[in-house]
Amino acid sequence: MNEPLQRGTGDGRMPPQWVRRFKPRGWSWWLAGAGVAVFFGLGVWQIERGQQKADYLARRAAALKLAPLSFASLSDAQLPDAANAIRVQARGHFLADQQLLLEGMPYGDRSGYDVLTPFVLEDGTRVMVNRGWIPRHSEFGGGYVANLDVTADTREIAGLWRALPAPGIRLAADNCTGQAWPRYVSYPTDADLSCLYGTTVHHGEIELDAGAPDGFVRDWSLAVGFPPARHYAYAAQWFMFALLAIYLFYRMNLRWVDVTDHSPDDAHLRP
């Protein structure tokens, strides 16, 4: 904003003296405060998400360095929480004709399916093995192009035993609806698995080791979606928006104010 022109009044009075003062309106305080609070809160949330994923990946890396425990020696009560995992090994065989495709599973920026295959243990109970990620048939359509076949020979597998993937907000989904195999499911629960197979299914899933045969994409570090660094970058953007909102609030509420002293005491100074 340009400074107002200072012209003589022609009646002996001093010309107005203009200065810029910060004079926001009452409602603008509320609007600016709400905007800054939202931007700052989103920045803090992104930092927390980044830290959570960094901690999760660090715990995964540590678990992978440990010798595997026999899955047969563990009980469902020992299933770790969603932020942790236990390295295990199990002996049994796959059921290739009763597989599940977990919908909407991320791999970096792409969406596809995680392949969950029942693994029958030597005692006849089952545990779900996550054999990895496969892409969708197309970005905007369903279906898949991978070959899901796996032999039913007895084998030993190893991987990380962890809780089933869970969404941030769980929506109603009928994962037990009868349909052809493989079945498309949306974030099934342990109860859903028991309903689907009608027999004992151990809680959680075993994420198959990256080097094991008969698997798909198993770069589990990308299975968390955005990496921690991207969350931190988003946080920086939100904080910049908060600073920009403060600057604009200040800049847009600078107003020209006449501070000329017209009191009688300065009459002798007037031209």
119-138 confidence digits (pLDDT tens): 999 999 999 999 999 988 76
Is residue 162, in this structure, part of any structural domain at all?
yes
Per-residue confidence (pLDDT) for residue 22, from 0 to 100: 76
Higher-pLDDT residue of 232, 222: 232
Domain that holds residue 90: 68-226
Token digits for 180? 């052809």
Does a structural domain hold residue 152? Answer: yes
Residue pair 144/113 in contact by the 8 Å Cβ criterion? yes
Q: Phi/psi zone of residue 62: left (φ > 0), alpha (ψ -120 to 50 degrees), beta?
A: alpha
Which is more confidently placed, 267 or 121?
121
What confidence score (pLDDT) does residue 26 get? Answer: 78
Q: Are strands 86-94 and 110-121 parallel, antiparallel or unpaired?
A: antiparallel
Contacts of 159 (CB under 8 A, 6+ apart): 87, 88, 129, 130, 206, 207, 208, 209, 212
Q: Provide the pLDDT confidence category of residue 70 given band limits of 50, 70 and 90.
A: very high
> For the chain, how far is it from start to end, CA to CA, in angstroms?
30
Q: Return the percentage of the chain with pLDDT > 90, whole number.
A: 44
Does position 194 have pLDDT exceeding 50, yes or no?
Answer: yes
Q: Count up the domains in the chain and report the number.
A: 1
- Whether pTM > 0.75 for this model: the answer is no
Residue among 223, 228, 227 at smallest CA distance from 207: 223
Helix (H, G, I), strand (E, B) or coil at 151: coil
Share the mean pLDDT of the chain.
84
Using CA atoms, how far apart are residues 242 and 249, in angstroms rounded to an integer? Answer: 11
Least confident span in 75-79, 138-142, 259-263? 138-142
Residue 233 maps to a domain? no
Q: Where are the alpha helices (DSSP H) in the chain?
A: 26-64, 190-197, 228-252
**215 in a domain, yes or no?**
yes
pLDDT at 25: 82
pLDDT for the residue 269: 46
Is the model's pLDDT at 96 over the cut of 90? yes
Q: How confident is the model at residue 264 (pLDDT cuts 50, 70, 90)?
A: low
Residue 53 falls inside a structural domain: no
Query: Which of 2-11, 41-50, 110-119, 166-175 shows the lowest per-residue confidence on average (mean pLDDT)?
Result: 2-11
In this structure, the dihedral spanned by the alpha carbons of residues 221, 117, 129 and 156, taken in order and rounded to 10 degrees, is: -120
Q: Pick the residue with more confidence: 29 or 220?
A: 29
Q: Is the pLDDT of residue 3 over 70?
A: no
Whether 51 maps to a domain, the answer reads no
Q: Contact, 249 vs 28, CB < 8 A?
A: yes
- Position 263 in a domain: no
Q: How confident is the model at residue 270 (pLDDT cuts 50, 70, 90)?
A: very low
